[in-house]
Amino acid sequence: MNLRGTEGVPPGQTPTIDKRRLVLNDGRLNVGYLVTQFICWPETFDANFAMVAQLSTDPGFAFGGQPVSNARDNRQIAWFQGGFFAMNPGAIVDPDHIVNRDLFINTHQTSTNMELNYMVTLEEVNLTDDDAIVVILKEEAQNIGPS
């Protein structure tokens, strides 16, 4: 399944942090989604374009006061950072993270007000009850690995 669209600030508006829910919790605890690809690219040509984006499972997450890319935070599962001349054909994606409830895309423009195109590819995964518990714990940023 592919989710695609644009995110960011339309031309003429002040750059800001933007967040959108991509996957809504449907209550099926034994069904999850594995993010297999996260691609971002600018809407039009602009040599000054720069933007950061990430996929997160926490609705309260925003860039303000928190690191944009924090691999220690289980709520963050994919990251993109780039500009027009440094387009990243595929962002960094945590290959072991399964989304069981909500998935958000968070974006922040750093130099110009232009929208960012994105495409997220998801693979549906069937979960056992035990797997679902582990996935939900990771979504809440709980440390489930060795310290």
147 falls within a domain: no
Residue 121, pLDDT > 90, answer yes
Q: Which of 39, 40, 34 is nearest to 57 (CA)?
A: 34
Number of DSSP helices (H) and strands (E) in the chain, helices first: 1, 9
| Beta bridge partners of residue 41, listed in sequence order | 117
Decide: pTM greater than 0.85: no
Q: What is the structure's pLDDT at 128?
A: 92
Domains: count for the chain: 1
- Cα separation, 79 vs 40, in Å, equals 10
Tell me whether residue 29 is in a domain.
Answer: yes
Q: What are phi and psi of 24, to 5 degrees?
A: -105, 135
Residue-wise pLDDT for 72-99, tens only, equals 888 888 988 876 655 545 588 998 888 8
Tell me the one-letter amino acid at 67.
P
In a domain, 61, yes or no: yes
pLDDT in tens, 101-118: 888 888 777 666 677 888
- Give me the domain span that covers residue 18: 2-139
Share of the chain above pLDDT 70, in %: 65
Provide the CATH number for the domain around residue 62: 2.60.120
Q: What is the structure's pLDDT at 147? A: 45
Q: What does the block give as tokens for 63?
A: 């860039």
**Is the residue at 132 inside a domain?**
yes
**Sheet order of strands, 17-23 included:** 17-23, 103-109, 50-56, 76-83, 92-93
The reported pLDDT for the residue numbered 14 is 54
